[in-house]
Amino acid sequence: MSGDADQTPAALRIARRVVKRAAVAGGEVTDAAVAAALQRVSSRAFANLREAMGASGCEALLTRALARAERAHPALRDLYREKTGDIQVDDVLAIIEAHSVDAVTAAIEALIAALIDILSRLIGEDMATRLIDQEVPRPSLGAQEQ
Amino acid sequence: MTSPARSIIGNVATGVPGLDTVLGGGLCEYSLNLIAGPPGSGKTTLTQQILFANATSERPALYFTVLGEPTVKMLRYQQQFSFFDINKVPDAVRFFNLSKEATTEDLQSVLERIVADVTAAEPAFVAIDSFRTIRGRNRSGEEDTPAALSEFVQQLALQLTSWEVTSFLIGEYNEPERRHPVFTVADSILWLSEDVDRNSAVRKFRAVKVRGRSPMPGLHTFRLTRDGMRVFPRIPEQHRERPVRTERRLRTGVPGLDPMLDGGIPEGDVLMLAGPTGSGKTTFATQFVAEGLSQQEPCVVAVFEEYPETFLSRAKTAPVDFNAMIQEGRLAVIYLRPLDLSVDEMLEEILNTVKRIGATRVVIDSLSGFEVALAPTFRIDFRESLYRLVGALTATGVTILLTAEISETYPGGRFSNERVAFVTDDIIEQRYVEMDGRLQKVLSVVKMRGSKHATDFHVYELTSSGAAVGERLTGYRGITTGIPDPTGEAPASG
């Protein structure tokens, strides 16, 4: 995808791996199942970031990542809710119906790749990936992951 | 009747070189530790160094950042330290940000958030950075009262201890703020500071209190390098008794000098070789080293006034190949020229090298260079610094040769006022005298503690093959004035 030139191949590769893992874990391949998987993976990434960086730190990174990824993936404008600071499964499903599964999947991959890219330049790719892709118990953020 | 068994407090080794010595062994397990000091003093680095040294995926550490340095920046900079093992993130070391809770919620909510995360992760270590910025707001949005803060600190300490957590509260506190409740509750208070004097800045560490341990009192210097923090414990506490003197004499390697010393320098002695500029002090010292090496005695040379390469280049005329000796691990030349060293830092470097190569001879060239290399704050107490340095070195049993530059214009009896003579066992003085219209080099043995020695002046020469002491200087009086008069008697041969 031409717009993904904004992200480095390494970041895109990591993002695709993260998204693919969530999709495979979901098992089903219906639109609803893919929407749930995409919502889960993005929520987890945002929650991880919010936990480590704080709400405002996460917001600052997301704003910049969105600005970069939106150019090639306009669907992201509708996906990300500024009010809740998260992506909701209902929205993902609606956008999938309006666009396609592939387009929305690519959009979320691009957003995560942009986050990894930005963070990589600040704290290194290894640390960025570890922060975004960590799977750890999170009681205080449990509600967001439901 | 058996006495009741006391609880044994487990130890947490900090992983910070030198720090456990100062703390009296390490930190107590499950203790609440306050790490305090001004901005930039190394509080975060110290804490993370301890956490990365101890945390594992089975015994993880939670690092809560509050207000202050943004997490992303902290991670960016802390990653530069060698102790920061990225592989430990997030399984062994996890980072949390509490800035939202700390700014918008009451203290109870902050406590609940910490307790919830501790409950979920069951960590062995928790750090809160910066603890000082936690103030909390009540339901009306007003800042919480000091009483609420006290209650929060008490509850936090109780919760963390109940969860068997060793915790670290980091804060930018200053002396007047010691009334903050955390100072009462904390089991240990580790204070970091910085002394700035002219162009020099020296970092200092103090264990204000360490419950359950007997920490070393006083201020201890530390350095922050790429490897993190390194503490240099003050010397007196490491001081051991000086070994009993033996009858053995060490040959100096300078032809004609040993007979003046009744056979050589007594083993374990501190000999000061004092003389004006250009009198050959370093040449004598080089020959002392060469003699040691030829006797299979490893040597350490601490150079302050020149680069090791220069010293080694000048030593090429010696009968022993110094570079080959370095390769073989029998000679070490330490370069100690920076102008902000503490005496403890210097000593550690020299002691470690002595230990590493098993040295029996040490040369410090020169005392004036040593003084200049010290940070100004230590130069003020130069006598004390030198005393501590020499005391710790002699306790290892090595024989020390110190070179010292003295003013040629100073009249006789100059050592009674010298600031350094008190630490020496033996003193050899070199001087210039004017004889027959030319400068002649002469030397004398001023003192040898507990040993007989020559009391007359001898001429000596510096040639391309080194220094050699010649005959006894007789037939003159007023040699110490620098311009001796012939007595009219025929000179006696040495």
B217-231, B338-352, B368-382, B416-430, range with greatest mean pLDDT: B217-231
Q: Which of B295, B219, B214, B209 is nearest to B253 (CA)?
A: B295
Across the interface, do A56 and B99 touch by the CB < 8 Å criterion? yes
Residue type at position B293: L
The token duo for B275 is 């003389």
- Chain B residues in contact with A124 (beta carbon < 8 A): 79, 86
Q: Is B94 on the interface with A (CB under 8 A)?
A: yes
Q: Which of A115, A116, A132, A136 has the highest number of chain B CBs within 10 A, making it the mutation to test binding with B?
A: A136
Q: What is the pLDDT of residue A1?
A: 43
Q: Is B97 on the interface with A (CB under 8 A)?
A: yes
Burial class of residue B126 in the structure, from the number of CB atoms within 10 Å of its CB (0-12 exposed, 13-18 middle, 19+ buried): buried
Q: How near does any CA of chain A get to the CA of B28, in Å?
A: 28
Q: Is B76 on the interface with A (CB under 8 A)?
A: yes
Q: What is the pLDDT of residue B52?
A: 97
- The pLDDT-based confidence of B480 (bands split at 50, 70, 90) is confident
Q: Per-residue pLDDT averaged across B210-214, rounded? A: 90
Across the interface, do B89 and A57 touch by the CB < 8 Å criterion? no
CB-CB: which of B71, B99, B119 is closest to A139? B119
pLDDT digits (tens, 9 = 90+) for B385-412: 788 888 889 989 999 999 998 876 545 5
Query: Does position B493 have pLDDT exceeding 80, yes or no?
Result: no
Rounded to an integer, what distance in angstroms lies between the CA atom of residue B298 and that of residue B290?
Answer: 10
> What is the bridge-based pairing of β-strands B11-12 and B27-28?
antiparallel
- The pLDDT-based confidence of A55 (bands split at 50, 70, 90) is confident
Rounded to an integer, what distance in angstroms lies between the CA atom of residue B257 and that of residue B467?
Answer: 10
Across the interface, do B97 and A139 touch by the CB < 8 Å criterion? no
B103 Cβ neighbours under 8 A, 6+ residues apart: B67, B137
What is the number of residues in chain A? 146
CB-CB: which of B79, B90, B96 is closest to A123? B79
Burial class of residue A59 in the structure, from the number of CB atoms within 10 Å of its CB (0-12 exposed, 13-18 middle, 19+ buried): middle
Rounded to an integer, what distance in angstroms lies between the CA atom of residue A49 and that of residue A118?
Answer: 13
Q: How near does any CA of chain B get to the CA of A77, in Å?
A: 26
Rounded to an integer, what distance in angstroms lies between the CA atom of residue A9 and that of residue B345?
Answer: 48
- Chain B residues in contact with A136 (beta carbon < 8 A): 90-91, 94, 121
- Chain A residues in contact with B71 (beta carbon < 8 A): 52-54, 57
| Greatest extent of chain B over all pairs of C-alpha atoms, in Å | 105
Across the interface, do B120 and A50 touch by the CB < 8 Å criterion? no
Helix B146-162 and helix B107-121, axial crossing angle in degrees, nearest 10: 10
Rounded to an integer, what distance in angstroms lies between the CA atom of residue B423 and that of residue B271?
Answer: 9
pLDDT digits (tens, 9 = 90+) for A84-125: 556 666 678 888 888 888 888 899 899 999 999 999 988 888
Q: Around Cβ B212, how many Cβ atoms within 10 Å?
A: 14
Range in A2-11, B1-10, B169-178, B191-200 with the lowest mean pLDDT: A2-11
Q: What is the mean pLDDT of chain B?
A: 86
Q: Which of A48, A49, A53 has the highest number of chain B CBs within 10 A, making it the mutation to test binding with B?
A: A53
Q: How near does any CA of chain B get to the CA of A6, in Å?
A: 22
Query: Does position B465 have pLDDT exceeding 90, yes or no?
Result: no
Size of interface A-B (CB pairs under 8 A): 70
Query: Does position B494 have pLDDT exceeding 50, yes or no?
Result: no
Q: Which contiguous run of DSSP H or E holds residue A3? A: none
Q: Is B96 on the interface with A (CB under 8 A)?
A: yes
Q: What is the mean pLDDT of chain A?
A: 79
Residue B411 · residue B481 · CB < 8 Å: yes
Q: Which of B97, B99, B114 has the highest number of chain A CBs within 10 A, making it the mutation to test binding with A?
A: B97
pLDDT digits (tens, 9 = 90+) for B256-280: 999 999 999 999 999 999 999 899 9
Query: Does position B64 have pLDDT exceeding 50, yes or no?
Result: yes
Q: What is the pLDDT of residue B492?
A: 53
| Measured CA distances, B169 to B78, B126, B128 (Å) | 18, 8, 5
Q: Per-residue pLDDT averaged across B86-103, rounded? A: 87
Query: Does position B249 have pLDDT exceeding 60, yes or no?
Result: yes
pLDDT digits (tens, 9 = 90+) for B280-324: 999 999 999 999 999 999 999 999 888 899 999 989 989 999 999
Residue type at position B311: F
Rounded to an integer, what distance in angstroms lies between the CA atom of residue B71 and that of residue B50?
Answer: 18
Q: Per-residue pLDDT averaged across A19-23, rounded? A: 80
pLDDT digits (tens, 9 = 90+) for B22-44: 999 999 999 999 999 988 899 99
- The pLDDT-based confidence of A146 (bands split at 50, 70, 90) is very low
DSSP B180: S
CB-CB: which of A54, A119, A127 is closest to B97? A54
Q: What is the pLDDT of residue A141?
A: 43
CB-CB: which of B73, B95, B116 is closest to A52? B95
Q: What is the pLDDT of residue B266?
A: 96
Rounded to an integer, what distance in angstroms lies between the CA atom of residue B409 and that of residue B482?
Answer: 9
